[in-house]
Structure 1
Amino acid sequence: MPFAAIVQRIRSFPLSIGQLTFGSFFLVLAVIAATSMASVIAIRHIGTTFAELQRLQAVGDLAEEIDRRMNELRLAARDFVTDPAARSDRVSTAVSALNDLLKKTRLELAPEQRDMIDGVTQRLANYREGIEHVTALIARRAELVTALPPLREQFESTIALVPDRITARNLFRAQNQVAAALLAQDPMGAQQSAQRMQAISIDNPELRSATDAYAEAIISIAGTEGEIAKLDKEVLGTEGRQIGRVTDLLRDISARRGRVLANDFARTLRDDKWQSIILGMAGVLAGFAAAVIVVRRTVRPLKAIARSIRALAGGEKHTSIPATDVNNEIGDIARAAEVFRRSLVDADTAREAAIHALAEQRLAEASYRKLFEGSVDGIYVTTPAGALLNANPALARMMGYETPEELIHSVSDIAHTIYVHPSVRAIYQSMMRRDGMVREFEYQVKRRDGGVLWLSDSATVVRDEAGEVIRYEGTVRDITDQKRAEDAVAEGRRLLQQVIDTVPAVINVKDKQLRYVLMNRYMAGIFGVEPADAIGRTTSDLMSRYGAQKTDENDKRVLATGKGLGFYEEEYMDSSGSLRQWLVNKLPLLDADGGIETIVTVALDIGERKRGELEMRKAKDAAEAALRNLRETQNSLIEAEKLAALGRLVAGVAHEVNNPVGISLTVASALERKTATFAAEVERGDLRRSRLNDFLETSRDAASQLVANLNRAAELIQSFKQVAADRNYSDQRMFDLGDLTEQVVMSLRPGLRKHHLTLTVDCQPNLTMNSYPGPYGQVLTNLFLNAVAHAFPDGRPGAVDIQVRESGKDNVEIIFSDDGCGMSLDVRRRAFDPFFTTRRDQGGTGLGLHIVYSIVTTRLGGRLDLDSELGRGTRIQIVLPRTAPLEQAAE
């Protein structure tokens, strides 16, 4: 039989849709099964290879973990060796963790790799032995270090007692070298320095013994450090590197095995890929063939039948239905469609008539529905009793409901459900009965969410044939925002009036005819009227009632210029006849077009301020006069205090000069008597050699005492002359601060002995200043006299210390301190205040430290700081510039 005839017979063979679908599905399922079996085989091989790769990855991870644990062990060992405070338990913990990891790793490795782990375990045992040895050495080092401080202290104390400074200096130099080597962690250098210390020649047996003991301790510590360093290098370092090499070898073996498995894995994937491609293409071809058969035997006939049915639906009643002679499900569908076509032809005639009858009714309903649903206002239909019959969507949304149906079902009685005030519903019903309608009837309603709305209602009644009211039909408009705006405007006006009524100032607003449109109660009180009575009237109208007047020129200037006038003063009579003074400002308020709409006036009563200014001016003049008198008095007191200090200085110098002058006078008198006796013996001619020698010895002693005492008196007088000259000479000059301080102190020393005080001066040499020596001397004198008077009560002994040194490049620092009774916190805060003193009952003026503060901060251009506590003395720090500022000098 020819092939074409076979194909034609297959096409004509009646197959049902189920048979075609099952055959196509079975063909595709067979291809999928073949593909799945091939994939399962390939996946099993891939799984085996992947498992091996995972095992190798785990081996690599274990090697990394071993390496990490070994690094932790090295760090712990390094800290233990280098840091004396480190604990040895960290090393033990790291060793135990590494041992556990090696045991776990050995179980997961191949037999040829377990030997490597055994080698690591042996290396680790060696490492542990080295750590134990290092631990013993560290303990020994700790004992030696603990015993070192007493030996060092004995060594240093023994050196301090040795009179031979060269030997002491050599020993100290050797000790410094030992300390430097220990700090630099150079045990060999410390040992060599200790040996050099032992080699120094020492004659003192005690020093020799102390030196040898100290050097032996250093040598022992250095030897122990050397052994620790040797173990650290030869055992810990070597074993650690060997363990690292083993782990590296383990990783290399795992990597080589991984590359082999990776190549096998890639080859398996490549073969499986081509196998899947071939089987997939076969499946696609089989599925395509099955789809072609299904389409030709089912889809095409069904499409033809569907096209005919759509044509029938489109109005082509005489369209033929294909495949009505096919003996399967498709033929059944085609024959049913043909029956449907014939029934449709019969029904069309009846439908045409019905459609024509309903067209006009639908048009009318559509127009009403469009108006009803599209209105932005709410539309309702209710019964006179208050039942809601109908509502449009706008009303439902207005009341907070999703749909009109939901609103209708939720409202049973409008008066109690919708109205906020049910009595308003009664008024509404009364108007509807009386007039048959309402227009813009306003009332409040409750929304679904509890909110309150204002509505404007316009409605009419609908009656039946008998004239009875059967329903109300109306529209409502939401006027809530309008009501709120009206209330807000009214409230704003009320608040504005309240606010301006509380302001104690004149506030008013005038229109362009200068009539009041707003006035606060304060201004109404000035005119003697109520604020409401002033609206619409002018200033002249209000003031003429009590015989006063006021010009409107300033208001007219604002209207003419369109600008504010700024603050100005004016005065006029109020309703009580009093003259009031005001500080006024007028501003224009513009409308939308930029023209002047109103004029705002604000005025403040400045009568009290004017009277206050006058009183303040009088008080200021009186205060300035008192201040001038106070300053003159203060200057007089300061000059008196300066003269008193100078007087005390002169008395001390005079007393000190009196001693050498008195001694000189006594010696001169004795020498005069001795000379007369010697002259008489010479005249008698009985002068002996012994008497001549005695006279010469006496003359020599007398001359020596005269020269010494007169020189002392001359030095005191010269020092006093210099100090006095500096204090009287106020010009700026160059001087040496140390020399000037010594001269001032020399003039102060006569008063020390009777007060049992010790004065110590420490001056840095070559401190040249360009400043004022007289004021500086006055400062030192006042500080000394203040310390004598206040720091040592009851005449108890004490010490005063003066230190002078450089402070930076351009300043000097003077520290004046004593070990007296000190000051309390309150006294310390007020110490520099003028006329403050704790000895006013003993004649104190309170100007001593104030003069010091004034001279230092003004004349000398410096600053000072006071530090004092009760029972701990007083310290005053003065910092002065080496060149006095010109502006201070000008004063």
Structure 2
Amino acid sequence: MRLSLRWKLILGSVLVEIVMLSVLVTNSLRINQAHLLQLANIRLGEVSVLLNASVGPSMAQQDYAAINDVFRVSRRKEGIVYFLLFDQRRRLIAADGWEGAAPRKSGDVRIAASENRLDARIPIVLAGQVYGELLFGVSTAFIQDARNRLLRESVLIAAAEVLISFIVIALMGTWLTRNLKQLEISANAIFRGEYGTRVSHTGDDEIGVVGRTLNQMSAQLAHEMEALRHSEQQQRETASRLQSVLDAASEVSIVATDTKGLITMFNRGAEKMLGYRAEECVGALTPLVFHDAAELARRSGELSAECGRPVRNIEIFTSKALLHGSETQNWAYLRKDGTRLHVSLVVTAVRDQHAEISGYLGIARDITLQIEAQLALSQLNEELETRVLQRTSELEQANRDLAGAMDNLQIAQAELIRTEKLSALGTIVAVVAHELNTPIGNCLTVASTLHDKTMEVGQAFDQGNLRRSGLTEYIRDTRTGAEILLRGLNRSSELVNNFKQVAVDQTTDQRRQFDLLTVVNDVVALLSPTLRKLPYRLIMQVPDAIRMDSYPGPLEQVITNLVNNAITHAFDGKDEGTMTLCAARVAADMVRIEFADDGIGIEADHLSKIFDPFYTTKLGRGGTGLGLNIVHNIVKKMLGGKLDVESIYGKGTLFTIYLPLRAPE
């Protein structure tokens, strides 16, 4: 029969009470009947010890015959009236001297009070273990009266005390077992994984301490289990992603091994590349089976010589990876069917969280096609080298011919540029000649008239017919003619001087200091006769006092070419147009010259080509394609400047030139 903790506490307390009451009764008997009670107790104690010592071993060995012998001897010598012996389950196992039917259980024992004996109940204990209970009666006729009176009083007191103790202990046991039951229920719930369970009793007593501790443990377990579930979920996701990546890398062989070289992972790419199934390799093979024995032996010899010790088996792949973290080496793989393929194998040492080597990872890429391509390329290179050697002389001759053609082309280009310059100069000469024709013609007419007048006056003077009025008229006509002659000759001189300066500048490329406005005026003066015949205007906005140390001739040619280019291309199909030439200093050593027109503009497709040599939209209609190319080369190379162009088709074009005030040497 399994007793609960409550009943164990109750029974233990009652037994303690009984023992204490027995002691009190015995002490009372000793006080009231000092001598007699002392003798009886001494006798009773001695008999109890003897009986326990005599009966205990026999009871432990279940030797009931020996127990009966002890009872018979004890009754004869010790004055014992009867014996009742019960086992641990309170069942009767031996009796002697009992009057009437012997009780079957200790609870059934009813001992009638007798004036002639003292009854005792003792546990049979051996080596600290209780084996049963012994009831016996000792003859006490000489103290019967005193014992009976004291016994009655003691029994009443003991009964009341036992009853009160039973009630109090039962209540305490109920409270204790109820809280313990709650702790048990909570602990079982936590064991089942219900980590939200909480113990309600958390006072300052021991049960409360256990309850708080259990609540803390439940909360900690809940937190740890949540973290564990999260970690497991992350690990599953990571493993799933890693497996997906490994399976997706079907063109790459990925093989993982432990530190001894035994394969632990074999992806689909490895299955495809080597012809083995993962089930055949994982936990059963090493990567050595995929390699040529002769190649392994050769590599082993190289590594052994390099390391100064024998390098064999899996170390052939891992020795370098251990030193440098990874190694890349070209190998020949042997497939399961015996065929070969060339691979580039990268072996990497894998370390755990403690930085200890936990295995190796080999990633191989099929480079068979690359090797074959390299071989084919090598053969092709040899063939090409042969062909190159055969055609070197031909190419050298072609290069010489090409160099000659390039020289001729450069000479032709220079000649075209010179011709362009001379053509421009010839145009200026024609214009100047035309312009000189008018003042010279006027001068000739005036001179002829003056000559005739002088002849008439001379004749009149010789004949003596010269009158004052005739002389006055002659002087007036002579003065008027002289003024006309001076104006004509001054105009002719100005044209000649301008032409001479421009001609010298454009034909000699002489560097000198000059005023920008003066150079522009010279060019405009030479272009004015041409412009007067056309419906186009040239507006000049050039400030004074911009001194330059540069090449005026090339600069004049730039301005002339820009004006001529506008006249030729900008106003095609237009009855009128305006050109603007502006200049301004933009820095202490820099001047900006802008030439704009409101003509038809330049199409976007042509804008990037206008400075190319021989590029023209009027080929065969007077355009050589060198005008703007000459402008570009002069500005960039000779004058050390920068040339930009902007154009909106249908609205006009703007050329912007940035020139240093001092041209580069």
Name the TM-score, length of structure 2 as normaliser: 0.49
* Structure in which a larger fraction of residues adopt helix: 1
Name the TM-score, length of structure 1 as normaliser: 0.38
* Structure in which a larger fraction of residues adopt strand: 2
